[in-house]
Amino acid sequence: MEELGITNQVSNIDISIASFALGLISVGAMTYVLGILFVRYSQSVSNKKSFANNFVLIGVTTMLIISIVKSSLALSLGLVGALSIIRFRTAIKEPEELAYLFLTISVGLGFGAGQYKVTVLAFILTSAFIVLRGKRLKKNIATNMYVTIQSTEPQKLTLDETKLVLEKRFEGISLRRFDNTSEGVEISLEVSFSDIDELNRFSSDIKKIDPGASVLFIDHSGISF
């Protein structure tokens, strides 16, 4: 009987609703900040905002799972079996994305296990490292990419106007091809930049000059996006 009582006590631990709610809010806030850091400082060329939007959900879900599982030995054993059938359907394209996912899960794990101080301290130090690393990379790393601009109205998209926009957005410019015919104009260049967001800004600038123009970006490995 005593043995049974001990087992029952170990298997069921009451969770404080107040501390759980506070932890959930904290995890949500921290993973939201992490998403902002990812969008601003990540070198990923994928849809960063869409990817970062998942951080809060992943963080709070991880905390919820750990909080429930730690209160029951039976549930913890069942979780092992459940995780064995889970598979990722979408591959992580870049190691940096995987690092941010692990950090998001770690925040949820830390709060779910009740290790608040350690988790907050680790998050602050890691966030500081991300900011410092991101600023250093933006200063020292330049990415090269091919840009092709096409327009059916050469009178709108002149080479001089295009050059002004290019000089505003990119650090290095090399003209590869310029075709100006009665049917339209096509300009191909190689550009270098340190901020991936400049591509969107450049595309918007070209659209302001000629709304019907198309802009294509291709990296050196031949993948366009």
In this prediction, residue 160 carries a pLDDT of 78
CA 141 to chain centre: 19
- The CA distance from 150 to 169, in Å, is 18
Residue that wins the pLDDT comparison between 181 and 10: 181
On the question of pLDDT at 142 being above 70, the answer is no
Domain boundaries, the chain: 2-140, 143-218
DSSP lists the bridge partners of residue 179 as 186
Res. 22: pLDDT tops 80 = yes
Looking at residues 69-90, what average pLDDT do you find?
Answer: 59
| pLDDT for position 117 | 92
- Each residue's pLDDT tens digit, 93-109: 577 888 898 999 999 98
Judge: domain 143-218, CATH 2.30.42.10.
no
